[in-house]
């Protein structure tokens, strides 16, 4: 067994894919098990579960057999969650720029507590925001010698070396094709240069991760799975560099736009500041304009569900750092009554006025009960 399946957390109704790599004498036969039970038809090294439901959650193991004997993978845990309505992503948060107000110095305060404020360059303006009250409008017009940008002060918490995982999230709105003008990054001369940067290419999201100049191995230019983003609408971008798994991923509007191997990728420390709307020289000669809102940078890889949660919270006009409110969902499944919720304790009562008590054996995100004819039951979630 050279590669075991990984734990996953997915949204109900989506597709979960588990895979493993096994070396041995051919022929090799495969069988996936959920718990100790064989899954019918699951006889390849990859298991795809479509339209997953809460009852698909559990422990999955791949068994392999050949003429010599058999072996099995370690168990991978599949967790199925309801569509997220909040994120609460404060662990590992090293910078959070809401762009709602400026401080006494005229800069954008970092609410993470790390002092990584957004320093204003030129004359960027505050406009109506996607999250909160305001967003920041940034633009470059080389003919008019106009460079309006924001940069984050040099800080060890924003330096990501060879072994450092990190994640970035922001909302962006723009039109036209500001091809290669950075949305955010630390690479001088933008893409294909040492460091990291998110930008536009042909109206879609591009990501450049480079430790050796002009090495395109770790660049997606643009993402095949990215929707069109230069349409004047707000779009959420979440980028994840996971050094543990040696994988980078980018989500656009809560959907995976692309995921790729970063085996062999060196440091992403360019030696320059993280800059928004420009490269670190502050005079990169590509014209364009972006409106940015609710920037977050973490010193850890967000999970896939956390990445989706940022977009989910945004649908309720909430930032990623807010907990709740928890929403209780229910549906009938045959004779069963299924309840799902993101977090908290499920309570019940036989009277709508209470008193309420915890439901025995109920744990987020899913509980199934079979109603009794003629009986009444009321449920709520304690956050």
Report the alpha-carbon distance of residue 290 to residue 183 in Å, rounded: 7
Of the pLDDT bands very low, low, confident and very high (cuts 50, 70, 90), residue 222 is very high
Q: Max Cα separation, the chain?
A: 76
At 285 the pLDDT is 96
More confident residue, 224 or 296: 296
**Residue 304 DSSP SS3:** helix
Report the alpha-carbon distance of residue 30 to residue 7 in Å, rounded: 19
Average pLDDT over residues 283-304: 98
At 373 the pLDDT is 84
Q: What integer best gives the mean pLDDT of the chain?
A: 96
Average pLDDT over residues 177-188: 96
The residue extents of the domains of the chain are 8-81, 93-315, 329-382
**pLDDT of residue 374 exceeding 90:** no
Please write the tens of the pLDDT for every residue from 130-176: 999 999 999 999 999 999 999 998 899 999 999 999 999 999 999 99
Which DSSP helix (H) or strand (E) runs through 120? strand 118-121
Displacement of CA 196 from its chain's centroid (Å) = 17
How much is the pTM? 0.91
Please write the tens of the pLDDT for every residue from 18-37: 999 988 889 999 999 999 99
Tell me the fold of 8-81. Immunoglobulin-like (2.60.40)
Please write the tens of the pLDDT for every residue from 188-207: 999 999 999 999 999 999 99
- Nearest to 170, CA basis, from 115, 125, 137, 130: 130
Of the pLDDT bands very low, low, confident and very high (cuts 50, 70, 90), residue 113 is very high
Please write the tens of the pLDDT for every residue from 305-318: 999 999 999 999 99
Report the alpha-carbon distance of residue 167 to residue 239 in Å, rounded: 6
At 283 the pLDDT is 97
At 117 the pLDDT is 98
- Residues counted in the chain: 383
**Residue 231 DSSP SS3:** strand
Please write the tens of the pLDDT for every residue from 59-101: 999 999 999 999 999 999 999 999 999 999 999 999 999 999 9
Percent of the chain with pLDDT over 70: 100
- CATH-assigned architecture of domain 93-315: Sandwich (2.60)
Report the alpha-carbon distance of residue 112 to residue 116 in Å, rounded: 8
At 24 the pLDDT is 86
Residue ranges with strand state E in 243-287: 247-252, 255-261, 275-276
**Residue 108 bridge partners (DSSP):** 118
β-bridge pairing 195-201 and 378-382? unpaired
User: 61, 48 in Cβ contact below 8 A?
Assistant: no
Q: Name the DSSP class of 302.
A: P
**pLDDT of residue 372 exceeding 90:** no
Report the alpha-carbon distance of residue 78 to residue 7 in Å, rounded: 6
Q: List, edge to edge, every strand of the sheet that includes 378-382.
A: 357-358, 345-349, 378-382
Report the alpha-carbon distance of residue 218 to residue 264 in Å, rounded: 9
């Amino acid at each position: 067994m050279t590669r075991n399946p990984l734990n996953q957390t997915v949204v109900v109704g989506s597709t979960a894919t588990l895979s493993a790599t096994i070396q041995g004498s051919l022929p090799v036969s495969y069988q996936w098990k959920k718990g100790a039970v064989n899954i019918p038809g699951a006889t390849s090294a990859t298991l795809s579960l479509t339209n997953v439901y809460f009852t698909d959650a559990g422990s999955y193991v791949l068994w392999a057999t050949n003429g010599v004997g058999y072996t099995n993978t370690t168990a991978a845990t599949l967790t199925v969650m309801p569509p997220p309505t909040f994120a609460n992503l404060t662990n590992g948060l090293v910078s959070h720029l809401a762009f709602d107000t400026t401080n006494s110095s005229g800069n954008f305060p970092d609410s993470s507590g790390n002092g990584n404020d957004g320093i204003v360059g030129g004359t960027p303006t505050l406009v109506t925001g996607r999250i909160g009250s305001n967003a920041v409008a940034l633009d470059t017009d080389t003919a008019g010698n106009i460079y309006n940008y924001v940069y984050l002060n040099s800080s060890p918490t924003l330096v990501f070396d060879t072994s450092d995982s990190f994640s970035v999230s922001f909302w962006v709105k723009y039109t036209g094709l500001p091809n290669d003008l950075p949305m955010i990054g630390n690479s001088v001369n933008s893409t294909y240069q040492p460091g990291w940067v998110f930008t536009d290419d042909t109206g879609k999201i591009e990501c450049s991760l480079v430790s050796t100049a002009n090495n395109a191995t770790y660049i997606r230019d643009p993402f095949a799975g990215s929707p069109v983003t230069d349409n004047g609408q707000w779009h959420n971008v979440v980028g994840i560099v996971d050094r543990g798994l040696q994988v980078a991923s980018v989500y656009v509007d809560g959907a995976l736009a692309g995921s790729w191997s970063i085996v062999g990728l060196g440091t992403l420390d360019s030696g320059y500041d993280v800059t928004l709307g420009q490269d670190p020289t502050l005079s990169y000669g590509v014209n364009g304009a972006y409106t940015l809102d609710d920037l977050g940078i973490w010193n850890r890889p967000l999970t896939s569900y956390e990445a989706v949660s940022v977009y989910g919270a945004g649908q309720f006009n909430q930032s990623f750092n807010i907990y709740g409110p928890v929403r209780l969902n229910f549906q009938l499944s045959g004779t069963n009554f299924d309840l799902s919720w993101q977090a908290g304790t499920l309570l019940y009562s036989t009277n709508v006025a209470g008193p309420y008590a915890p439901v025995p054996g109920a744990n987020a995100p899913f509980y199934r009960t079979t109603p009794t004819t003629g009986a009444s039951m009321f449920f709520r979630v304690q956050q």
